[in-house]
A and B are shown apart, each in its own frame.
Chain A
Amino acid sequence: MELEDIQDMATSVLADPQALQGLRAQMLRFATLQLGDEQLAEDAVQEALIGALKNASAFRGQAALKTWMFAILKNKIADTLRQKKRLGEASALMRERDGEEDLDELFNARGMWEPDERPAAWGNPQESLHQAQFWKVFELCLEGLPGHQARVFMMREYIGLESDEICSTVGVSTSNLNVLMYRARLRLRECLENNWYVKTKEQPC
């Protein structure tokens, strides 16, 4: 396919109301989670879509359209977060304490793994990268993270902000950030183990 055809394709997808609607809804969900503010999220998604249309020539077709759109959106979100050090939200963020109780169930009173919660070997996990079904499970597990953990975890590992940037942006201390990241990882790890890597563990009989 010629480069021009690919660019035409990107433009036509962006011009297709139904395809655009679906993509926009996904982007909005992601931006709202990250920014904690629907208006700011709307603005970021709007700017990303306009930016994408303007720069359709930069779309080379080597990445899926969705990946490309999210790359643009992630930059917008990072900009917005840097501009607005949203200190006001820090207290709300730290007040949300859901999920903490669950994690205590993973360890006994002496802080050792409960027998049925011990992390198992995952065999050859690299294989899962090429399995479409795995990525569905992965996305479901990500969506299952509580809001504040998901937000900080995605900032760090998806948008790729440095820890100190996240601390000053959401107004948490380094130790708070470490705790949120730790909880998100415990939860995500467990979800992937139970639903993919060691599925047999859950099967009855």
Chain B
Amino acid sequence: MLNCKSATGLVSQAQESPLSMTQKVRLNVHLMMCASCRHFSQQIPFLSQLMRAHAQGEDEKARR
């Protein structure tokens, strides 16, 4: 069974390259039971969205 450290590692890794089927299953089983890692798994893709928005000047728009 995955612990939170390994589960969050897989969440991060999935941003770079697709996980294997086994990794996905193990991660999803953990996420079903762990609300903290579930939050983490929603926030990590959102960080990428923030970086893209920042690169596209959303921060400048908000400041105007």
List A residues at the B interface (Cβ < 8 Å): 63-64, 66-67, 70-71, 74, 107, 110-113, 118-122, 125, 129-132, 134-135, 138-139, 156-158, 160, 163, 177-178, 181-182, 185-186, 188-189, 192-193
Contact = CB atoms under 8 A, between A and B. Distances in A.
Contact of A182 (B13, B48, B60): B13
Which secondary structure dominates chain B's binding surface?
A: helix
B12 A181 contact: yes
B56 A67 contact: yes
Nearest to B36: A118
A121 B48 CA distance: 17
A111 B54 contact: no
Interface of B: 3-6, 8-9, 12-13, 15-17, 36-37, 39-40, 42-44, 46-48, 50-63
Given A107-B3, A107-B4, A186-B8, 12 more contacts: A122-B39, A122-B46, A125-B46, A129-B58, A130-B61, A138-B50, A178-B12, A178-B16, A181-B15, A181-B16, A189-B43, A189-B44
Nearest to B16: A163
B6 A111 contact: yes
Contacts, number: 99
A132 B58 CA distance: 9
Contact of A64 (B3, B51, B52, B57): B57
Given A107-B5, A119-B39, A182-B8, A129 B50 contact: yes
Given A112-B4, A138-B50, A185-B47, A120 B57 contact: no
18 contacts: A63-B60, A66-B60, A67-B56, A70-B55, A118-B39, A119-B37, A130-B61, A131-B62, A134-B62, A135-B54, A135-B63, A138-B59, A157-B52, A178-B12, A182-B13, A185-B12, A185-B44, A188-B47
